[in-house]
A and B are shown apart, each in its own frame.
Chain A
């Protein structure tokens, strides 16, 4: 009988063979092949590692999660990376972390305000509401689609305690100015880096400027593990709190299958519990269970090795689109990188200028008919969404640009699965539409 080691080797060799049989790249056929706005890009290495992890049958977070967290923190140059099951969960954990009583007078309390934008993804806002905090919406700039720093500054009130904004579609927000506002007013900064992994501002990676940041590994993002996300920070106190919120709210930091990592499991005193109450079941936060499985993390470990290559391809695709669309400057507002930034673009965002013979919906329908996938800038103006209409909120100004984006903006893909053939096809179709 073969040993488990021999069998494992055979299985993994077969998996590699299976990958080539199943996922062979198909040639691009204009008009027949779809041009996705995003998607998973992988090879046999992800599949082999995924199956290898499944053969461990550890199931919950294990060796691969540990490796990913460590390598991801190293990539960002931060002390801690806390894997969770989605970018939205990362946002929830990051926001909740700042409400921890362990932060004493710096902890956010119900009714405190958090400055954000409405032109974005709902789960940047949802954790603010879920934590009984009050979102304060400021407008964004057309072209960069990022929060306008002057509006952030003017929106700060006595109740404002944090800024929670995204680097929209990979384009860094004006970090110098936002950091200055935060410093001046003692505000926390959460960087929603879900769409911007690999972006740089003044040669420094986004996600490393704020107190805490979040990333997403949904298939549409720069790297994927299917479902997955991460909270990152260089503040070890915040990291421990974030782990607690992720892991049921417990005080103990043992990983799955571990006991007494702290070495003082039965000799501490917490709350009104008796001395020595098992630390494994001591809860310091009202938490969640948002961990990943080790199989998700296994895919992430291989994807992370490819991140820089993926980012380079995104930039290349973006450049081709930008050069090809420059001649339509009268028709479109094309995306522009924030000054001093080097974005790892999530997508190519386009806004239809006023006075065109066509609407955003018409061009989007045309593109989709030609198998070119498009997306709107997520929720448009989120405060007009059913879920957000009745929430407690404050709106600074009139969100004029946000409304304009809701009506006139869409994006197309620059993801690494697309190449010159797909980009040329997009440009050809747009030329056919505009004339």
Chain B
């Protein structure tokens, strides 16, 4: 974990995927510390005064690759009082405070081997960062992304997936959409992420690393099932906060 910094950032863009899922693009003032795909930040809508404690904040995964433009992208899901305030009070041109980078959920090991990325909803954020990072390199590790969403409106990675398909030979995906989308740009299954199917499929590849990101209940179910099916604990990585 590189030295964390507390920085002021300007909201430069917003995009609503649906009523309760929003992408925020921030321009950081000051030197953005080096971060790794998979790491997270704290965002506070309140002003930080260095004479006092860090204000109330929430954790969000970084959803873009490390870059030199001092830009950060986050995907925010409205889940409670604080995230509702983010939706209601923050608009382009406003300033927020962030501190970063944090977390050991990273993909250092996956670059060498085979990885299964399992995301539910906005839990796909760290994987966006990872895949974007991979696309900036000459790396092409074996990656399969399983991504489950409620409906097609919150599918936020059209362009990214198209680029991965065209540029990464070892990339593959399976998408699960609860409400049948009708027409959709990619192959998909209707319904929930199929944990048993994923395990069955992935067991064929030894030493696979499993990355879990999504709602805590989803992570728990997957973690338990993976262990029950003989997957070594050290090969399971997850990203969750209280």
Contact = CB atoms under 8 A, between A and B. Distances in A.
A331 interface: no
A70 B35 CA distance: 12
Interface string A42-59: 000000000000001110
Contacts of B33: 70
A56 B51 contact: yes
A58 B5 contact: no
Interface in A235-283: 236, 239-240, 253, 255, 257-258, 260-267
Interface stretch (A74-82, A97-105, A427-435): A74-82
B50 A62 contact: yes
A109 interface: no
Contacts of A267: 242
B40 interface: yes
Nearest to A261: B102
Contacts of B165: none
Contacts of A263: 40, 59, 102, 240-242
A266 B242 contact: yes
Given A56-B50, A66-B5, A73-B3, A261 B242 contact: no
A264 B132 CA distance: 27
* Interface band, chain B: 20 to 34
A80 B1 contact: yes
A427 B102 CA distance: 54
Nearest to B32: A70
B184 interface: no
B31 interface: yes
A263 to B, nearest CB: 3
B130 to A, nearest CB: 17
A372 to B, nearest CB: 41
A263 B102 CA distance: 10
B51 A58 contact: yes
B87 to A, nearest CB: 20
B150 interface: no
Contact of A240 (B1, B42, B52, B99): B1
A69 interface: yes
A62 to B, nearest CB: 6
B6 to A, nearest CB: 7
Contact of A257 (B54, B103, B240): B54
Contact of A264 (B50, B52, B241): B241
A63 B7 CA distance: 10
Nearest to B36: A236
Contacts of B42: 261
A52 to B, nearest CB: 10
A73 B2 contact: yes
B3 A63 contact: no
A236 B53 contact: no
Contact of B5 (A56, A57, A70): A70
Given A70-B33, A73-B2, A253-B1, A262 B50 contact: no
A57 B51 contact: yes
Contacts of B1: 79-80, 236, 239-240, 253
Contacts, number: 63
Nearest to B102: A261
B92 interface: no
B2 A80 contact: yes
Interface in B1-58: 1-6, 31, 33-34, 40, 42, 50-54
Interface string A370-411: 000000000000000000000000000000000000000000
A255 B241 contact: no
A79 B242 contact: no
B238 to A, nearest CB: 11
A424 interface: no
B3 A66 contact: yes
A266 B242 CA distance: 8
Nearest to A253: B1
The residue in B3, B5, B34 that gathers the most chain A C-beta atoms within 10 A of its C-beta is B3
B2 A79 contact: yes
A33 B12 CA distance: 58
A74 B32 CA distance: 11
Contact of A69 (B3, B52, B102): B3
B3 A257 contact: no
Contact of B4 (A58, A255, A265): A255
A70 B102 CA distance: 14
Contacts of A265: 242
Contact of B54 (A74, A80, A81, A258): A258
A13 interface: no
Nearest to A294: B50
Given A56-B51, A63-B50, A70-B33, A260 B4 contact: no
A244 B40 CA distance: 21
Contact of B3 (A57, A70, A262): A70
A330 interface: no
A191 to B, nearest CB: 19
Interface string A136-148: 0000000000000
28 contacts: A56-B50, A58-B51, A63-B6, A63-B50, A66-B3, A67-B5, A70-B3, A73-B3, A74-B31, A79-B2, A79-B3, A79-B34, A80-B2, A80-B3, A236-B1, A239-B1, A253-B1, A257-B53, A258-B53, A258-B54, A258-B99, A260-B242, A261-B42, A261-B99, A261-B102, A263-B240, A263-B242, A265-B242
Given A56-B51, A79-B2, 16 more contacts: A57-B51, A66-B6, A69-B3, A70-B33, A71-B31, A79-B1, A80-B3, A239-B1, A240-B1, A257-B53, A258-B99, A262-B103, A263-B102, A263-B242, A264-B241, A264-B242
Interface of B: 1-6, 31, 33-34, 40, 42, 50-54, 59, 99, 102-103, 240-242
Interface of A: 56-58, 62-63, 66-67, 69-71, 73-74, 79-81, 236, 239-240, 253, 255, 257-258, 260-267
